[in-house]
Structure formats: C-alpha cells, structure tokens
Amino acid sequence: MTTTNRIMVVDGMALLFRAFYATAMSNYYMINSKGTPTNAVYGMVKHLFTAIETYQPTHVVCCWDMGSQTFRNDLFPDYKANRGAPPEELIPQFDLAKEVVESLNIPNVGQVGYEADDCMGTLSRLYSEHSQVFLLTGDQDLLQLLQPNVHVVLLKKGYGNYAEYHQDSFYEEKGITPSQMVDLKALMGDSSDNYPGVKGIGEKTALKLLMEHQTIEGILENLDKLTKGQRTKIEQDLEMLHLSRQLARINCEADVNCSLEDALFYIDDEKMEAKFNELEFRNWKKNLVRI
C-alpha cells in the first residue's frame, strides 16, 4: 500500500551541531551587527532546505533535546558525562534555531526528560501507521526505528549527501534486524554516550553472538555454548548489560504529539524573509536552497 503523506521528522540538534562545526573549524561564525553568531542556524537551514528539496515531504516536524538531563541520567548518572559544555558561540543559537524553524511554519517538538531521539521515535510510530516517514539525522542510533514505512536518512559530509536506510537494506548491510541494534549497543556499549556495555566485547563479537542467538535473552540461555572468555565477561557485567540496553533503546512513548494539520509543510515567504533579514543572513536568496 502506498501512502500519499511523506513526513520528514528532523533531528534539529544533529543539523545544528553539524552546521556549527563545519564552519567553526575555520573560525567563521557569521556574527551579525548585534554581535550574535548565526553560522549554525544558517547551515541548519541549508541542510533542512536541501533535504526537503531532495525528499519532497508533504509534512515536516523538527525535534529537539530539552536540556541535558533525561530519564537516562536517572538510570545511569554518568550517561553522556563525557560531553563538554557547548562552545560559547553555539549557545545563543539554540533558541535562534527554534525561532527560525517556527518562521518556516515547521513545528518544534521536544519533551523535558527525553532526548530528541525519543521524540522522533514516538512521532515515527504515530505517523507510520498511515504515512511514509523519513527521519533526518546524523545519529546511527535511529536505525533501530526502521520499519516498513519508516526510513532513516543519515547526513553525510557536505550538503545533499545522504545514506538512506530501509528496513530490508539495513538487514542486507548489517546482518541483523533494526531491533537487534539495541542489543548490539547493550553488548558493546557506546563511548560517545559514555556507557560501557560488557567490558571486553566489541562490535565484531557482539554481532557474531546476535547472529547466532538473536537476542540478549538468547545469549544468556546459551552461555554454555560461548567461549570461556565470552561467558566470563558477560557474567561479570550482567547488571551493566541490562542497564546498557535500557540506555540504548529509544523510548517511543514520550509525551509528544503533532497533528498532520500542524505539520503540513507550507512556507510563508514574508514571515521567512522577515526572520532571515532580522538575523542578517547574507546572500540567503542565492545560497539557501529554496523549495
């Protein structure tokens, strides 16, 4: 069954950070006459417009983290504790980014205590019952959300370069199903999110174990078939294994919603132009892709 709605759910944080670091490396912050840096917001809009031009969605929603404390920190206080504070040039751009998104008539969605990933997962479950969903992100964690109607579009270097994943192509490439991604991360941990998984088990071993035994439960039921080293590592880190799985799983029951009516993609040119000019976006008519 084909559906006419094509809903793009955007990871606002991923686009904003990517755009910031692409220009900050050369100290190009695009500071306007008010002293406000705008490089991240400008680049985010370019990423957004390029993706919209490529995928032609009928509806667009943008999801955000709402502060650094989430339910995962309650489970594991060291979760993401390795992340430093954002650069000072980026801090004022968080609110600006949401203002710009709002000026494009795109809803901003977020929920305190949850990450943008959780909001994206929740919305993808709601929308995929009746629509094609495209999750635009730079974060491979979202691959666990792949379903027949849910595609993940990963940003690659530059503008307009994507790795697009479907449920079937993911299995062909990785050898495991999207839902097994959660157990994979539980076993091998995630250094960027700062949780260890099972010490001494890397991606190669974790993939092999999941291909043989399907799930963590399957592995635990067959400990006697594992090598002595694998068995010892898992038994020693059993508690952390279960905790890591809770941290790795995207929560698709965040308290967020956004009606299709609100998400319908329609730009009011005057509203957009006023915002872009207020922020003193340079050459935006030429450089920002218009749909």
23 vs 185: which has the higher pLDDT: 185
d(CA 32, CA 196): 43
Other CB atoms within 10 Å distance of the CB of residue 246: 15
Q: Do 145 and 116 contact (CB within 8 A), yes or no?
A: no
Same fold, 6-167+251-287 and 180-248: no
Q: Which of 62-71, 82-91, 146-155 has the lowest mean pLDDT?
A: 82-91
| Region 162-168 average pLDDT | 92
The most distant pair of C-alpha atoms in the chain lies apart, rounded to whole Å, by 68
At residue 1 the predicted structure's pLDDT band, cuts being 50, 70 and 90, is very low
Short-list 80, 101, 83, 141, CA closest to 16: 101
Short-list 221, 198, 219, 222, CA closest to 210: 219
pLDDT above 70 (res 97): yes
Structure confidence at residue 36 (pLDDT) = 87
Structure confidence at residue 289 (pLDDT) = 56
Q: What CATH number was assigned to the domain covering residues 180-248?
A: 1.10.150.20
Q: What tens digit of pLDDT does each residue of 220-265 get?
A: 999 989 899 989 999 999 999 999 999 999 999 999 999 999 999 9
d(CA 164, CA 149): 13
Residue with token string 């749909």: 291
| pLDDT > 90 in the chain, percent | 68
Residue with token string 């917001």: 41
Q: Do 184 and 203 contact (CB within 8 A), yes or no?
A: yes
| Region 203-209 average pLDDT | 93
Two tokens at 143? 């691959």
Short-list 275, 207, 22, CA closest to 219: 207
Structure confidence at residue 168 (pLDDT) = 87
Q: Do 3 and 73 contact (CB within 8 A), yes or no?
A: no
Structure confidence at residue 130 (pLDDT) = 92
Q: Give me the chain's average pLDDT, please.
A: 91
d(CA 254, CA 149): 20
Task: Please report, in angstroms and rounded to a whole number, the separation of the first and last CA atoms in the chain.
Answer: 28
d(CA 113, CA 229): 38
Q: Where are the domains of the chain?
A: 6-167+251-287, 180-248
Q: What tens digit of pLDDT does each residue of 110-123 get?
A: 999 999 999 999 99
Residue with token string 């329609």: 266
Q: Do 252 and 122 contact (CB within 8 A), yes or no?
A: yes
Structure confidence at residue 115 (pLDDT) = 94
Write b or e for each residue in 99-138: b if 16 or more Cβ atoms lie within 10 A of its Cβ, otherwise e: ebbebbbbbbbbbebbbbbbbbbbbbebbbeebbbbbbbb
| Region 35-48 average pLDDT | 92
pLDDT above 60 (res 3): no
Q: For residue 184, give the 3-state DSSP assignment.
A: helix
pLDDT above 50 (res 169): yes
Short-list 101, 131, 250, 122, CA closest to 186: 250
Q: Which residues pair with 7 in a beta bridge?
A: 59, 133
Structure confidence at residue 85 (pLDDT) = 79
Structure confidence at residue 205 (pLDDT) = 93
6-167+251-287: CATH, from 3.40.630.10, 3.40.50.1010, 3.40.250.10, 3.30.565.10: 3.40.50.1010
At residue 290 the predicted structure's pLDDT band, cuts being 50, 70 and 90, is low
